[in-house]
Amino acid sequence: MNVLDVGRVKDRVDRIPRRFLPVIATFTVFVLTFGTGSVRYEGFASPQVATNLFVDNAFLIVLAVGMTFVILTGGIDLSVGAVAALSTMIAAATLEAGWPPLAAALAVLASGTALGLLMGLVIHFFDVQPFIVTLAGMFLARGLCFLISVESISITDPVFRELATGTISLGDEVTLTYSVLIALAVVLVAVYVLHLTRFGRTVYAVGGSESSARLMGLPTGRVRVGVYAVSGFCSALGGLLFSLYMLSGYGLHGVGMELDVIAAVVIGGTLLSGGVGYVAGSVAGVLVLGTVQTIISFEGTLSSWWTKIVIGVLLLVFIIFQRMMMRRSG
């Protein structure tokens, strides 16, 4: 490649809007990581392994969608893992008590949304830092789990078990679960809401500059409360999917899951300061984490703690990358 070709490539890169660069970087990391596994391990590049990235992380994708809404406004939600655990407990306990599956699912979604709405109202009306309020929400949800039961509750309902074990064939012995379809539907709805509705545009405006958004007459307070309700709903739905994945409810489900979700969203290119980010990037961030876990599983000799080490390194790299971008744009 000569100097002229290098210059043309540089011009093309410079023409890419800066806000897309973190997402492109995340997809590049995903391709490189998956490519590395494909070269190193036999069978890694099979369609079923790629499909399993979605099957094993469907609940995490839904949680990441809700977290994206919150972080886009410059907030944070530390309660998502505990709310997901509470959702598994409510689902398991209500089904054990003889509730119809639909009623149990509606109770889970209503509980998660109500808790998210409550945290949003406290943050908005009392002007308390989201970190503190959602930390309190995390302890509240985790405590409610053990009020329901200190033991694990198995889910034996036939409808839930059918949803958990049922698969959709994509041909050539490649299968998807129903949880993946639900997660992808949530992603599509979130993309529509963020980019084609007034609520979504206001989310970006609040994250960019809340004072400017307020001067423009945008309903900033309603949106600040709304994103926590959205996160609560996604946490509850993610908990439902996790209960299908585990077929049980347990108060210790999802411990540390909120950190995985935040890491996936940040690695996906959403700025912690708010205003910049995409749901597609968050999904890519989840796939990166899933690929790292899959590589460690294929290796067989590495401790699962290496997943946390790699995630920590990636998170640090992407935060530094974001800071460099902000300085250059400033």
pLDDT for the residue 20: 81
Q: pLDDT tens digits for 150-182?
A: 999 999 999 999 999 999 998 888 899 999 999
For the four alpha carbons of 238, 240, 243 and 248, in that order, the dihedral sign comes to: positive
29-329: CATH class: mainly alpha
The two structure tokens encoding residue 10: 């540089």
Residues in the chain: 330
Domain map (residue ranges) of the chain: 29-329
Q: What pLDDT does 21 receive? A: 83
Q: What is the largest CA-CA distance in the chain?
A: 72
Cβ contacts of residue 283 below 8 Å, gap of 6+? 61, 64, 187, 268
| Segments of the chain scoring below 70 in pLDDT | 1-16, 302, 325-326, 328-330
The predicted pLDDT at position 6 comes to: 46
- pLDDT for 9 equals 46
What type of residue is 113?
T
Q: Indicate the pTM of the whole model.
A: 0.93
CB 227 within 8 A of CB 72: yes
Q: What is the pLDDT of residue 47?
A: 92
Q: Which amino acid is at 3?
A: V
What was the pLDDT predicted at 328? 66
In sequence order, the 6+-apart residues with CB closer than 8 A to the CB of 303 are none
For the chain, the helix, strand and coil percentages under 3-state DSSP, each to the nearest 5: 75, 5, 20
The two tokens of residue 208 are 């960019």
Answer positive or negative: Cα dihedral of 53, 23, 82, 206.
negative
CB-side neighbour CA atoms (13 Å) of 147 = 8
The CA–CA distances, whole Å, from 16 to 9, 11, 145, 198, 240 equal: 11, 9, 47, 26, 39
Tokens 């749901």 identify what position? Answer: 279
